[in-house]
Each structure stands twice: as C-alpha cells, then as structure tokens.
Amino acid sequence: MAERTLLVSKINNGTVIDHIPPGKSFKVLSILSIDSRISYTVTIAVHVLSKKGGYKDIIKIEDRFLQRDELDRISMVAPGATISIIKDYEIVEKFTVKIPDEIVGIVNCPNQNCISNSREPIKSRFVVKSQKPILIQCFYCQRPLTDLEIITNI
Ligand SMILES: Nc1ncnc2c1ncn2[C@@H]1O[C@H](COP(=O)(O)OP(=O)(O)OP(=O)(O)O)[C@@H](O)[C@H]1O
Ligand SMILES: [Mg+2]
Ligand SMILES: [Zn+2]
C-alpha cells in the first residue's frame, strides 16, 4: 500500500511554538526575525486541525531558545500559544505564554504627541487592562489599544 503519511523530523534541540491562533504564525515569525537569511532550520505548519478543536499554527525552530522579551511579544499576538523547549529530542520545559502585567519597550504608542514618542529617552509603557480580549492602555497618555492595533504597533 502506498505510504500516506509524511514524517517531518523531530528536532534535536530548539523550541516548538504550538497552539498559535490560525494565521498568526506569520506575525510570530516576524517578531522572531525569521526570514530568508536564517541559517537554522524552521518548520512551519499553518491552519492545521487541533486535537483541542478548531485550527492552529505551529512553528518549530532548531537551535534557538527564546528570550523573555520575545516571549512577551508572542504572548500579545498569539495568546494561548504553548512553548516546548527541546533538548536531546525530549521536551525539557513546557509552558503557555503569559501576557505580562506591564508592557515596557515593546509596543509603540500610536499617539504621535505621546511623551513616549518624543526625543526624550522614555520607553513606551502600557498597563494591561484586560487579558481576554486583550486591552492595554498607555501609561503616559492613557491611549487604549486593542488586539489589531497592538499587532501593527509591536
Ligand atoms: N523532538 C521534537 N521535535 C519536534 N517537535 C516536538 C518534539 N517533541 C515534541 N514536539 C512537539 O511539541 C509540542 C508539544 O509536545 P507534546 O508531546 O506535549 O504534545 P501534545 O501531547 O500534543 O500536548 P498538547 O497539545 O496538549 O500541548 C507538539 O507540537 C509536539 O509535536
Ligand atoms: Mg497536541
Ligand atoms: Zn501614549
């Protein structure tokens, strides 16, 4: 009988980002600066059926472990994504991304008159008002931002 399954190799060391809301993997790749210049292997699955129902995207990155600020960015564009850290082909750590209580230096305030957009060395700062659906508010000018605005200003 013809072989009806394809095997994508397991990764030896690296990171799996699973349960990404369908279609959001492109934004996650952009956050991680994964483009044609990379020199490590990345496997991407878009709009695949999830065992938990509905659809999801998955990204598997060899030989790369994510930094805190990268995880914080991902939490805002792909809430509910799970991170598995792989060492010697086994999961050594697994967790769900969590939106931080305060978002500092990650999202730009869309208000051009906001002090965080002046020449002063002031980092952008947002307070999280709601996690689901995500709603954040600028600490300096009180401008609220919802999910789509966050994605374009991250
Ligand atoms: N060595 C590996 N290489 C590549 N991907 C891996 C490896 N080990 C696990 N994964 C992937 O990491 C993710 C988490 O693995 P796990 O075995 O916990 O999945 P699961 O049982 O489907 O759990 P859940 O979907 O509830 O998070 C899955 O997407 C799985 O395919
Ligand atoms: Mg699963
Ligand atoms: Zn502001």
* Nearest protein Cα to ligand 1, atom 4: 10
Name the residue ranges covered by the structural domains of the chain: 14-96, 102-153
Element (H, E) at 28: helix 25-31
Q: What is the pLDDT of residue 1?
A: 62
Mean pLDDT within 78-84: 96
Query: Average pLDDT, stretch 60-86?
Result: 96
User: Rounded mean pLDDT of 48-75?
Assistant: 96
Model pTM score: 0.93
CATH for the stretch 102-153: 2.30.30.20
Cβ < 6 A, ligand 1 pocket? 10-11, 16, 18, 58, 60, 82, 84, 86, 89, 91, 94
**Angle made by CA atoms 51, 77, 63, in degrees to the nearest 5:** 75
Is the CATH number of domain 14-96 3.30.70.140? yes
95-144 per-position pLDDT tens digit: 999 999 999 999 999 999 999 999 888 999 999 999 989 999 999 999 99
Q: How far is CA 18 from the centre of its chain?
A: 10
pLDDT exceeding 70 applies to what percent of the chain? 99
Q: Give, for ligand 1, the residue of 18, 62, 83 to mutate: max count of ligand atoms closer than 8 Å to Cβ.
A: 18
Mean model confidence pLDDT for the chain: 95
